[in-house]
Protein backbone atom coordinates (compact mmCIF):
# COMPACT_ATOMS: atom_id res chain seq x y z
CA UNK A 1 0.00 0.00 0.00
CA UNK A 2 1.43 3.41 -0.87
CA UNK A 3 1.61 6.19 1.68
CA UNK A 4 -1.29 7.92 -0.04
CA UNK A 5 -3.48 4.83 0.10
CA UNK A 6 -6.86 4.95 1.79
CA UNK A 7 -8.11 2.01 3.85
CA UNK A 8 -10.34 -0.48 2.07
CA UNK A 9 -13.11 -2.41 3.76
CA UNK A 10 -11.78 -5.71 5.09
CA UNK A 11 -10.82 -7.91 2.16
CA UNK A 12 -11.94 -5.41 -0.49
CA UNK A 13 -10.00 -5.54 -3.74
CA UNK A 14 -8.64 -2.87 -6.02
CA UNK A 15 -9.37 -4.16 -9.52
CA UNK A 16 -8.63 -2.51 -12.85
CA UNK A 17 -10.17 -3.02 -16.28
CA UNK A 18 -8.55 -2.42 -19.66
CA UNK A 19 -11.59 -2.56 -21.95
CA UNK A 20 -10.10 -3.63 -25.28
CA UNK A 21 -11.83 -4.91 -28.40
CA UNK A 22 -14.64 -2.43 -29.09
CA UNK A 23 -13.53 -1.67 -32.63
CA UNK A 24 -12.90 -5.29 -33.62
CA UNK A 25 -16.25 -6.30 -32.15
CA UNK A 26 -17.99 -3.69 -34.29
CA UNK A 27 -16.04 -4.54 -37.43
CA UNK A 28 -16.93 -8.23 -37.11
CA UNK A 29 -20.60 -7.20 -37.21
CA UNK A 30 -20.28 -4.72 -40.05
CA UNK A 31 -20.83 -1.80 -37.69
CA UNK A 32 -18.93 1.47 -37.32
CA UNK A 33 -16.35 1.68 -34.55
CA UNK A 34 -18.59 4.15 -32.73
CA UNK A 35 -21.15 1.39 -32.30
CA UNK A 36 -18.52 -0.73 -30.59
CA UNK A 37 -17.72 2.05 -28.15
CA UNK A 38 -21.43 2.54 -27.45
CA UNK A 39 -21.79 -1.18 -26.73
CA UNK A 40 -18.69 -0.93 -24.56
CA UNK A 41 -20.41 1.66 -22.38
CA UNK A 42 -23.06 -0.93 -21.56
CA UNK A 43 -20.28 -3.28 -20.45
CA UNK A 44 -18.95 -0.55 -18.14
CA UNK A 45 -22.38 -0.24 -16.56
CA UNK A 46 -22.54 -4.01 -16.03
CA UNK A 47 -19.09 -4.07 -14.41
CA UNK A 48 -19.91 -1.20 -12.06
CA UNK A 49 -23.13 -2.87 -10.95
CA UNK A 50 -21.44 -6.24 -10.38
CA UNK A 51 -18.24 -5.12 -8.67
CA UNK A 52 -19.37 -4.50 -5.06
CA UNK A 53 -20.98 -7.93 -4.65
CA UNK A 54 -17.68 -9.51 -5.75
CA UNK A 55 -15.69 -7.84 -3.00
CA UNK A 56 -14.25 -5.05 -5.15
CA UNK A 57 -13.90 -1.82 -3.19
CA UNK A 58 -12.05 0.18 -5.86
CA UNK A 59 -12.50 -0.23 -9.61
CA UNK A 60 -10.20 1.66 -11.99
CA UNK A 61 -11.19 1.69 -15.66
CA UNK A 62 -8.92 2.71 -18.53
CA UNK A 63 -11.48 4.94 -20.20
CA UNK A 64 -9.22 6.69 -22.72
CA UNK A 65 -5.43 6.85 -22.72
CA UNK A 66 -3.14 9.69 -23.72
CA UNK A 67 -1.97 7.54 -26.64
CA UNK A 68 -5.54 7.39 -27.94
CA UNK A 69 -5.16 10.96 -29.24
CA UNK A 70 -3.36 9.28 -32.16
CA UNK A 71 -6.73 7.99 -33.37
CA UNK A 72 -8.99 9.98 -35.70
CA UNK A 73 -10.32 13.03 -33.91
CA UNK A 74 -13.93 12.04 -34.55
CA UNK A 75 -13.41 8.72 -32.76
CA UNK A 76 -11.67 10.37 -29.81
CA UNK A 77 -14.49 12.90 -29.45
CA UNK A 78 -17.06 10.11 -29.64
CA UNK A 79 -15.34 8.23 -26.80
CA UNK A 80 -15.09 11.41 -24.73
CA UNK A 81 -18.78 12.04 -25.35
CA UNK A 82 -19.65 8.60 -23.99
CA UNK A 83 -17.48 9.23 -20.92
CA UNK A 84 -19.33 12.51 -20.32
CA UNK A 85 -22.68 10.76 -20.76
CA UNK A 86 -21.73 8.14 -18.20
CA UNK A 87 -20.49 10.75 -15.72
CA UNK A 88 -23.77 12.65 -16.01
CA UNK A 89 -25.56 9.40 -15.09
CA UNK A 90 -23.25 8.96 -12.12
CA UNK A 91 -23.85 12.53 -10.92
CA UNK A 92 -27.61 11.98 -11.16
CA UNK A 93 -27.22 8.69 -9.25
CA UNK A 94 -28.71 6.65 -12.06
CA UNK A 95 -25.95 4.14 -11.33
CA UNK A 96 -26.05 2.05 -8.13
CA UNK A 97 -26.41 4.29 -5.10
CA UNK A 98 -23.28 4.97 -3.09
CA UNK A 99 -20.76 4.95 -5.93
CA UNK A 100 -17.97 7.51 -5.51
CA UNK A 101 -16.27 8.56 -8.72
CA UNK A 102 -12.89 10.19 -9.22
CA UNK A 103 -10.91 10.70 -12.42
CA UNK A 104 -7.16 10.48 -12.96
CA UNK A 105 -5.18 11.79 -15.91
CA UNK A 106 -4.78 15.10 -17.67
CA UNK A 107 -7.68 17.53 -17.89
CA UNK A 108 -6.11 20.41 -19.76
CA UNK A 109 -6.71 18.79 -23.19
CA UNK A 110 -10.30 17.73 -22.57
CA UNK A 111 -13.30 19.51 -24.08
CA UNK A 112 -15.05 21.84 -21.65
CA UNK A 113 -18.18 19.70 -21.42
CA UNK A 114 -16.14 16.63 -20.46
CA UNK A 115 -14.21 18.59 -17.84
CA UNK A 116 -17.47 19.91 -16.39
CA UNK A 117 -18.95 16.40 -16.33
CA UNK A 118 -15.91 15.11 -14.41
CA UNK A 119 -16.07 17.91 -11.86
CA UNK A 120 -19.82 17.55 -11.40
CA UNK A 121 -19.64 13.79 -10.90
CA UNK A 122 -16.78 14.10 -8.41
CA UNK A 123 -18.68 16.70 -6.39
CA UNK A 124 -21.99 14.86 -6.49
CA UNK A 125 -20.54 11.53 -5.35
CA UNK A 126 -17.80 12.70 -2.98
CA UNK A 127 -19.55 11.25 0.07
CA UNK A 128 -20.47 7.98 -1.60
CA UNK A 129 -19.82 5.15 0.87
CA UNK A 130 -19.77 2.34 -1.68
CA UNK A 131 -17.63 1.42 -4.67
CA UNK A 132 -14.82 3.85 -5.49
CA UNK A 133 -14.94 4.09 -9.26
CA UNK A 134 -11.87 5.66 -10.86
CA UNK A 135 -11.90 6.59 -14.52
CA UNK A 136 -8.55 7.09 -16.22
CA UNK A 137 -9.19 9.85 -18.78
CA UNK A 138 -6.35 11.13 -20.99
CA UNK A 139 -4.13 9.03 -18.75
CA UNK A 140 -0.54 7.88 -19.19
CA UNK A 141 1.17 5.97 -16.41
CA UNK A 142 4.60 6.98 -17.69
CA UNK A 143 3.64 10.64 -17.67
CA UNK A 144 2.17 10.27 -14.19
CA UNK A 145 5.39 8.70 -12.88
CA UNK A 146 7.57 11.39 -14.49
CA UNK A 147 5.36 14.12 -13.05
CA UNK A 148 5.47 12.50 -9.62
CA UNK A 149 9.26 12.27 -9.68
CA UNK A 150 9.48 15.92 -10.67
CA UNK A 151 7.05 16.95 -7.92
CA UNK A 152 8.57 14.87 -5.12
CA UNK A 153 10.74 16.86 -2.73
CA UNK A 154 13.10 13.90 -2.36
CA UNK A 155 13.55 10.94 -4.69
CA UNK A 156 12.38 8.13 -2.44
CA UNK A 157 9.79 5.45 -3.09
CA UNK A 158 7.50 6.95 -0.44
CA UNK A 159 7.60 10.52 -1.78
CA UNK A 160 7.10 9.44 -5.39
CA UNK A 161 4.18 7.24 -4.30
CA UNK A 162 2.73 10.20 -2.42
CA UNK A 163 3.02 12.40 -5.50
CA UNK A 164 1.40 9.74 -7.65
CA UNK A 165 -1.51 9.69 -5.22
CA UNK A 166 -2.03 13.37 -5.98
CA UNK A 167 -2.78 12.61 -9.65
CA UNK A 168 -6.38 13.63 -9.29
CA UNK A 169 -8.42 14.99 -6.38
CA UNK A 170 -7.20 14.14 -2.86
CA UNK A 171 -10.01 11.59 -2.56
CA UNK A 172 -8.59 9.60 -5.49
CA UNK A 173 -5.79 7.98 -3.46
CA UNK A 174 -6.18 4.20 -3.38
CA UNK A 175 -4.46 0.99 -2.31
CA UNK A 176 -2.09 -0.64 -4.76
CA UNK A 177 -3.68 -2.66 -7.51
CA UNK A 178 -4.64 -6.27 -6.76
CA UNK A 179 -6.10 -7.47 -10.05
CA UNK A 180 -5.85 -6.21 -13.63
CA UNK A 181 -8.18 -7.60 -16.29
CA UNK A 182 -7.65 -6.94 -20.00
CA UNK A 183 -10.21 -8.02 -22.57
CA UNK A 184 -9.96 -8.42 -26.34
CA UNK A 185 -7.20 -11.01 -26.54
CA UNK A 186 -4.18 -8.70 -26.31
CA UNK A 187 -1.44 -9.79 -23.87
CA UNK A 188 0.06 -6.51 -22.69
CA UNK A 189 -0.36 -3.92 -19.96
CA UNK A 190 -0.13 -0.79 -22.06
CA UNK A 191 0.75 2.49 -20.37
CA UNK A 192 -1.63 1.84 -17.46
CA UNK A 193 -1.04 1.78 -13.68
CA UNK A 194 2.57 0.66 -14.07
CA UNK A 195 3.60 1.79 -10.58
CA UNK A 196 0.43 0.80 -8.70
CA UNK A 197 0.25 -2.51 -10.54
CA UNK A 198 3.75 -3.76 -9.77
CA UNK A 199 2.40 -6.78 -7.89
CA UNK A 200 -1.03 -7.02 -9.45
CA UNK A 201 -2.32 -10.37 -10.65
CA UNK A 202 -3.05 -10.29 -14.39
CA UNK A 203 -6.00 -11.89 -16.16
CA UNK A 204 -6.20 -11.71 -19.96
CA UNK A 205 -9.46 -12.58 -21.70
CA UNK A 206 -10.21 -13.19 -25.37
CA UNK A 207 -13.71 -11.82 -24.78
CA UNK A 208 -14.16 -8.45 -26.53
CA UNK A 209 -15.14 -5.71 -24.15
CA UNK A 210 -18.72 -5.23 -25.42
CA UNK A 211 -19.45 -8.85 -24.46
CA UNK A 212 -17.90 -8.57 -20.98
CA UNK A 213 -20.42 -9.17 -18.23
CA UNK A 214 -20.86 -9.88 -14.55
CA UNK A 215 -19.98 -13.56 -15.03
CA UNK A 216 -16.66 -12.63 -16.65
CA UNK A 217 -15.81 -10.30 -13.79
CA UNK A 218 -16.78 -12.96 -11.24
CA UNK A 219 -14.61 -15.55 -13.00
CA UNK A 220 -11.61 -13.20 -12.99
CA UNK A 221 -12.04 -12.48 -9.27
CA UNK A 222 -12.34 -16.22 -8.59
CA UNK A 223 -9.11 -16.81 -10.54
CA UNK A 224 -7.43 -14.07 -8.49
CA UNK A 225 -8.51 -15.69 -5.23
CA UNK A 226 -7.04 -19.03 -6.30
CA UNK A 227 -3.58 -17.54 -6.73
CA UNK A 228 -0.96 -17.25 -4.00
CA UNK A 229 0.52 -13.77 -3.84
CA UNK A 230 4.09 -13.87 -2.58
CA UNK A 231 5.28 -10.27 -3.19
CA UNK A 232 8.82 -11.52 -3.72
CA UNK A 233 8.81 -13.82 -0.70
CA UNK A 234 8.44 -17.58 -0.45
CA UNK A 235 4.75 -17.73 0.31
CA UNK A 236 2.90 -20.28 2.41
CA UNK A 237 4.25 -23.31 0.53
CA UNK A 238 7.77 -22.12 -0.21
CA UNK A 239 9.60 -22.39 3.10
CA UNK A 240 10.54 -26.01 2.57
CA UNK A 241 11.44 -25.73 -1.12
CA UNK A 242 14.78 -27.11 -2.18
CA UNK A 243 17.64 -24.63 -2.83
CA UNK A 244 17.35 -23.22 -6.32
CA UNK A 245 13.66 -24.06 -6.56
CA UNK A 246 11.49 -21.39 -8.20
CA UNK A 247 8.47 -22.52 -6.24
Query: Which residues make Cβ contacts (< 8 Å) with residue 211, sequence separation at least 6?
Result: 25, 43
CA distance 193 to 164: 10
- The residue among 93, 95, 70, 68 whose CA lies nearest residue 79 is 68
The residues with which 43 forms a beta bridge, in sequence order, are none
The residues with which 56 forms a beta bridge, in sequence order, are 13
Query: Which residues make Cβ contacts (< 8 Å) with residue 66, sequence separation at least 6?
Result: 105, 106, 138, 139, 140, 143, 191
Q: Catalytic positions, please?
A: 20, 68
CA distance 207 to 20: 9
CA distance 25 to 2: 37
Task: Answer for the pair 101, 63: CB distance below 8 angstroms, yes or no.
Answer: no
Amino acid sequence: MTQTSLPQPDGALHAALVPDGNGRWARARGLPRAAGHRAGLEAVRRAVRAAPALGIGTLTIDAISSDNWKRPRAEVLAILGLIAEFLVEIAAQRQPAGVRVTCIGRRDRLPDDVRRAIESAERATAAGPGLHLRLAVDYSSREAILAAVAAAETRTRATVAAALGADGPPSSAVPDLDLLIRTGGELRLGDFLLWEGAYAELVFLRTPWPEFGADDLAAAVAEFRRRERRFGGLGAQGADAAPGSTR
